[in-house]
Amino acid sequence: MMGIWAPHAQAFLFVLMIVTTAAFALPIFLAPLTWARRFGWRIPEHTDLAVYFGRCLGAFILIVELLMLRAALTGVGLVFTFQVLIAVAILMTIVHIWGALLRIQPISETLEIGMYAGLGLLAVLFYPS
């Protein structure tokens, strides 16, 4: 099952990079509290730490986006990029399950369990051979 769509690995990364940059990386990096409000988070009065952590998270997402762009356009680091995506999918699925179990996140974050699990499955199916 692993890598059955491997010939399309670079195209997959390119499409994924465009979607996740627009939906997550840039909004979280540029306006983390606006992004958080749209996803249902309640914002406290003191927000400096939340803005800082949001921008840090956005910066790391942008690093993954750049890895995907490079691998999608040139093929350089293709296997490594898929390994990073699978690690992101696994760890983010765990983070969102944890938040759901503790009931400390809005429903939009709980729904992301399926998104990250699906990303992991797609990364496995497109894994370059």
The per-residue pLDDT for range 54-100, each reduced to its tens digit, is 999 999 999 999 999 999 999 999 999 999 999 999 999 999 999 99
Whether pLDDT at 1 is above 80: no
Instruction: Give the residue-averaged pLDDT of 37-48.
Output: 92
Measured in whole angstroms, the distance separating CA 10 from the mean position of its chain's CA atoms is 17
| Residue 129 confidence (pLDDT) | 84
Picking from 106, 99, 114, 96, the residue whose alpha carbon sits closest to that of residue 39 is 106
Burial class (CB in 10 A: 0-12, 13-18, 19+), 76: exposed
Whether pLDDT at 114 is above 80: yes
pTM of the model: 0.90
| Token pair of 41 as six digits | 């988070």
Instruction: Give the residue-averaged pLDDT of 100-107.
Output: 97
Cα-only R_g, the chain: 16
